[in-house]
Structure formats: structure tokens, C-alpha cells
Amino acid sequence: MAGAGGVGHVLRPHDLAAFLVEAKRRTYAGLDDDATIAVPLLAGSKQLDHRAPPYAYRDIYFGMGFFVGQETVSRDDRIIWSMSYSGGARAEIRDRDTFLAIYKFLRQALLAVNADEFEHAGMVYRNAVEGALDRFHGAETIARDDGAPLYELRYGGGLLR
């Protein structure tokens, strides 16, 4: 999509995809909430930022067991891509160790990047996406290897125009 990155710039989807992978590795997927900035823009939120000019990534979300958030990517200070999401661990999961194990497993699955399915430690991650980087939606789930559901998240987004 020509011009999406600002005047005189051509957006290269491969560059954007590579930046998103790196940003996610350097924020939640790789560092958990240790990547959270001290003073988020929105009170009560968690905010994770990553910059690699000309791109900047921001993920702002609220909640933990069930959460809602939005990721944005800007190029030269203009937001060009966004994804919103909501989901979390099943409401009946109250055991802290199980809760922490689910999110640890989720971060491992996210680091696998292109895996539509990831299995480890008795859990299975699945990601079902429709579309491409410019316009997409999907759902990710985590279940025990016996099929018992543990987590679900729905997401959608794409290039802004």
C-alpha cells in the first residue's frame, strides 16, 4: 500500500511484519509484564512500548484474567496498523499456579511466531486466523492436551487507511 507510512514513504508489508515479530519478542511474549512502562498513558492500564525507527509499537491493555487491549504501530509518528483483542483464562480457573502456567505457556507459543499449533507441558495452543496483515481476524485458544479449554482470545485488525 503506497503512502501508508507517510508522505514519500512506501509501506513494505515484509518490513512491518518483521518489526511486529521483533516488537512482540521485546515486550509481552519475551519479557511478560517486566516490559511494562512505569507511567502508562491510560491510568490502570499496562503499556508496553518498543521502538525501532521509523517504526514504534505500543500495546495497551486492561485486566489480567480477562483482558481487553489494542496494539498499534506507527511509522514516522503516524499510526499505520492496529489490532484490538479481548479474552483470557476461563472464568472457572481460580488456582494461581494454573493461571500463571497458562500465561507462561502463552508467551512460549507467541515466541514460536508462525505456529498455528504449539504443544508443550500438557497444553495445546491453536491460532485460527483469516486474512493477512492488511486486514485480519481470528481466535487463539489454549486447552489441556485432553481437550479441556483453558483460554480463548479473539482479535482483529489491519492497515489503517
pLDDT digits (tens, 9 = 90+) for 18-37: 999 899 888 987 776 667 78
Is the confidence at residue 81, as pLDDT, over 80? yes
**How many other CB atoms are found less than 10 A from the CB of residue 142?**
22
Enter the DSSP assignment of 116.
S
Distances (CA, A) of 110 to 25, 33, 117: 8, 14, 10
Question: Domain residues of the chain, as ranges?
Answer: 13-159
* Banded model confidence at residue 61, pLDDT cuts 50, 70, 90: very high
Provide the 3-class DSSP secondary structure of residue 62: strand
Phi and psi at residue 30, to the nearest 5°: -95, -30
So what's the pLDDT on residue 28?
83
Q: How far apart are CA 44 and CA 48, in angstroms?
A: 13
pLDDT digits (tens, 9 = 90+) for 84-121: 999 999 999 988 899 899 999 999 998 886 778 999 98
Quick check: 11 and 133 in contact, CB under 8 A? no
Greatest mean pLDDT among 11-20, 32-41, 125-134 lies in 125-134
